[in-house]
Structure 1
């Protein structure tokens, strides 16, 4: 870790929800007409909740297919692009902020996407309570809140307990793909993964611990702007390798 990031991740046996500490803050925001339509009209068809319990993913999607979960999809642009480009793959998005959920649902409906479902819930609760063990081909965590202040590092979602929970939900050979535009958080992620049992880094020796952006991860508008300004983005892809 660098000099500005001196506190480390929690121990592996720390409580998963870290004594009620959340990795996000719910913010009030105005809803557009399209976002409201998504939540009111499309949610009954594509929305999921904790009350649905443990899912049977084949029944949910009506087929067997590769399964990808994206944690914290923001306004959903990346997830929509992936689901549209890869109709052979099923996607589940998890996000707590209503405008983003509404936007994604509205877009999914307009584009006729049948391979996408959405939770408006805490991702840790969804992973624990709703997604079966060894059921996912990939879990994606793109540009999570870096909580840059040292006193807030305990809020970072990437902790040993989180990556262990993800590992149990991945199929053997499945991947955890993380991306961040904060170098200190990239170093934090790399530190957590270096100590995480049951994972293998997919990075080549000349780029380790990071990988070039995979083609399937769409560029965000902020990433394009950041590249123009010389800002870096770091991708980490680790494979479940214990079975």
Structure 2
């Protein structure tokens, strides 16, 4: 059976500038999912050893570039399927001189399941994923029990899963799913000051939709000696 995915694979037309960026910088900063080795060697790709953070759904890359620039000590990996958005992010990488940002084009769930080593992520971010508001499409939402378990398994103990949405029904669903995952501990937090306010989020506010941030810590596997991590601070970037 064909797997249910949480995204629409929109190709889209690139501008002349985006096309130039794609041909010039994609070989250096980007990879298609199927080009990656079975176990991603992030340290080798980034050319240094540093905590690895994955963002699912970078869109046009404005906030992604800003967050990567604000945390140069982090190896920041953005996963997206929309080629013009990735090309736009390549332009931002070049314009801002970012050295800690790499891009993957493909299914983020497959990336986590097939390429990311268990316990290797410092953080995982899913900001404003497609809410699939129609009831018949709810099965396409990325945050499901299987995803929560997969995310928890890829995070190192104490690593953070950070979710944000402007759809209250989806926020309630996210919280229910993550609260039920025994390897995650956390809940709602105030909007972190370090998360850029995008035009998309500003429009949601103007339309009266509440933005919800949820942050969870990954617990150590059962049987490992550990202390339960404290609730994540809303004022500090994970």
Q: TM over 0.5, yes or no?
A: yes
Structure 2 counterparts to residues 121-136 of structure 1, below 5 A:
121-136=106-121
- The answer to whether the aligner puts 1:161 opposite 2:157 as a matched pair is no
- The answer to whether the aligner puts 1:241 opposite 2:226 as a matched pair is no
Aligned to 1:217: 195
Structure 2 counterparts to residues 127-146 of structure 1, below 5 A:
127-146=112-131
Structure 2 counterparts to residues 66-85 of structure 1, below 5 A:
66-85=51-70
2:127 and 2:165 in contact (8 A); partners too:
yes
Greater relative contact order (CA < 8 Å, ≥ 6 in sequence)? 1
Task: Flag as ranges the 4+ runs of structure 1 deviating above 4 A.
Answer: none
Counterpart among 28, 35, 41 of residue 51 in structure 1? 35
**Partners of 1:38 and 1:126 in 2: how far apart?**
24
* Alpha-carbon shift at residue 78 of structure 1 (Å): 1.0
Aligned to 1:27: 10
- The answer to whether the aligner puts 1:231 opposite 2:209 as a matched pair is yes
* Alpha-carbon shift at residue 130 of structure 1 (Å): 1.6
* Alpha-carbon shift at residue 230 of structure 1 (Å): 3.1
Q: How many corresponding residue pairs? A: 219
- The answer to whether the aligner puts 1:178 opposite 2:163 as a matched pair is yes
* Alpha-carbon shift at residue 229 of structure 1 (Å): 4.0
Q: Which runs of 5+ in 2 are unaligned?
A: 222-238
Q: What's the TM-score once normalised by structure 2's chain length?
A: 0.87
Change (3 A) 1:61 1:25: same
* Alpha-carbon shift at residue 81 of structure 1 (Å): 0.4
Aligned to 2:229: none
Secondary structure of the residue aligned to 1:114 is coil
**Partners of 1:127 and 1:242 in 2: how far apart?**
18
1:92 and 1:118 in contact (8 A); partners too:
yes
Q: Which runs of 5+ in 1 are unaligned?
A: 1-17, 202-208
Aligned to 1:113: 98
* Alpha-carbon shift at residue 95 of structure 1 (Å): 0.2
Q: What's the TM-score once normalised by structure 1's chain length?
A: 0.86
| Residues 145-164 of structure 1 deviation map (CA, whole Å, 9 limit, x = unaligned) | 00011100111111111111
- The answer to whether the aligner puts 1:197 opposite 2:182 as a matched pair is yes
2:164 and 2:211 in contact (8 A); partners too:
yes
